[in-house]
Amino acid sequence: MKKRFAAILIILTLVYVSADYSRDASVSASGNIDNYEYVLGGNVVGIKLYGRGLILVDFKEISGENPALKAGLCKGDILLSANGTDIKNTDSFIETVITSPGEIAITADRNGELFETVLIPIKDESGINRVGMWVRDSIAGVGTVTFYDERGGRVVTLGHSVSDSDTGRRFGVRKGYITDCDVVSVEKSEEGAPGEIVGKFTEDEKIYGYITENTAGGLFANSSGILPVDEVKVKTASSREVKDGEAFLYTELGGDGVKPYKVEIKKVFGRAKGDMIVTVTDDELLSLTGGIVQGMSGSPLIQNGKLIGAVTHVFVNDPTRGYGIFIENMLSETEKIK
């Protein structure tokens, strides 16, 4: 990685929950964009993901021993079943461990390969069975919708995959949903310290879509049919149409709904991930956020009246700048979804 881009942060704001146990008509195969219009996003939403099994994020010794390490488990392993029963959440796994009279047969996934092992719990000082590991079954956070696809019945957000913060592995989705949330405050970005959107899930949740895929191009959800009141429809631009120069970032951070803010496309790399560099130039947005903040991931980018992509990452050492992904590459992910 080049030195000047060394400090880059994916800008989905996430809160993690752990337990101590211890083909689309919009884009052709050649990447050409058709004339279909999408409903523009820009609204900040809550995101809840529930994993496929439990991801092992760390170890913890129990009386100087560690059953999980003895069983040959590693950080990033995904525990799928215990004693032949699918593991759906941390609570069910904890119950299995606590009530186990002996060995626990585990089936796990390591980098796409299944393997089996045996966990032998040991008792802690309180006499409770433990297996010496921290696991995670869910993620909740804040992101921004890029677009709504009425024809395909989808909601698309983030512009990048959601990965586990401790292991770096892409989070396997069992289920999840995108919902409305209230923006409580915005912590401004400063050099070396990106800010974030502080959001709160509403008590009477309005669900925009049910998440089906966690892809390199963002989260894809089946639309619940709920769309923003002020619908704005836009056509998409191919990567060849994206040029250095003025563009607009859409987000809803000022209390006046979704609004456009001026940005500059500073460099276009071609059809690869990290497709363009975006610099915030709008005085109002800079005043509100200091640049790009965590939670703006997925904010749509418009140039010459067309949707060209979304913001995905912030440069930690210069939060006025970040990366964007082409809409073309986001849409190409739909070809991989069966």
CB 245 within 8 A of CB 262: no
What is the rounded distance in angstroms from the CA atom of residue 36 to the CA atom of residue 6? 37
Region label for 309, one of left (φ > 0), alpha (ψ between -120 and 50) or beta (otherwise): left
Active-site entry in 138, 297, 299, 332 = 297
Active site residue 180: no
What is the rounded distance in angstroms from the CA atom of residue 21 to the CA atom of residue 136? 10
SS3 labels along 199-233: EEECCCCCEEEEEEEEECCEEEEEECCCCCCCCCE
Active-site entry in 24, 58, 166, 282 = 282
Active site residue 313: no
Q: Which two tokens stand for residue 254?
A: 């000022």
CB 296 within 8 A of CB 145: no
Q: Among all chains, which residue has been given the structure tokens 């626990």?
A: 104
Active site residue 24: no
What is the rounded distance in angstroms from the CA atom of residue 253 to the CA atom of residue 227? 18
Q: Which two tokens stand for residue 317?
A: 């050492």
CB 116 within 8 A of CB 104: no
What is the rounded distance in angstroms from the CA atom of residue 146 to the CA atom of residue 157? 5
Of 218, 197, 199, 200, the residue nearest 209 (C-alpha): 218
Active-site entry in 149, 160, 161, 332 = 160
Q: Among all chains, which residue has been given the structure tokens 């983030």?
A: 158
CB 77 within 8 A of CB 108: yes
CA 264 vs CA 20, 28, 284: distances in Å: 46, 28, 15
What is the rounded distance in angstroms from the CA atom of residue 238 to the CA atom of residue 27? 9
Partnered with residue 318 across adjacent β-strands are 315
CA angle (312, 165, 320) in 5-degree steps = 30
Tell me which residues are annotated as active site: 160, 282, 297
